[in-house]
Structure 1
Amino acid sequence: MATETYQVQGMTCGHCVSAVSSELGAVDGVTDVQVDLASGQVTVTSDAPLETETVRAAVDEAGFELVGS
């Protein structure tokens, strides 16, 4: 198991949380996604470490931006 926390910019509501959770949850190997709307932090648990670009692509697909990394 691997757990990584990312900073996501642009989330402002529950729909945003749902969109990010859905896109990241669809990534192969992801077992859990926790989103803290107030801080913009997204914690992803997966079977194996994920490539940052894979996470970035899923966040982009949801309409938001991965900050840093």
Structure 2
Amino acid sequence: MPFVNIKVTREGVTSDQKAEVISGVTDLLVRILDKSPATTFVVIDEVELEDWGVGGLPVEQYRRNAAR
């Protein structure tokens, strides 16, 4: 019974995109690990940008530094 938790920043991910991710991840686990789609759980959590950090920095600051 696989459980996959995907976290993304809350930046306009659509319901259709989420559905495609859920379907794709489920298909991958079925194909690679021979798991049943009926018992495969995929959860997508959206995280506010201010609550996400990369390289010790808030993601917005990290992106600004990377753009330089």
> Which band: TM-score by shorter chain?
0.3 to 0.5
**Which structure's CA Rg is the greater one?**
2
Higher helix share goes to which structure? 2
Q: Please give the TM-score of this superposition, normalised by the length of structure 1.
A: 0.35
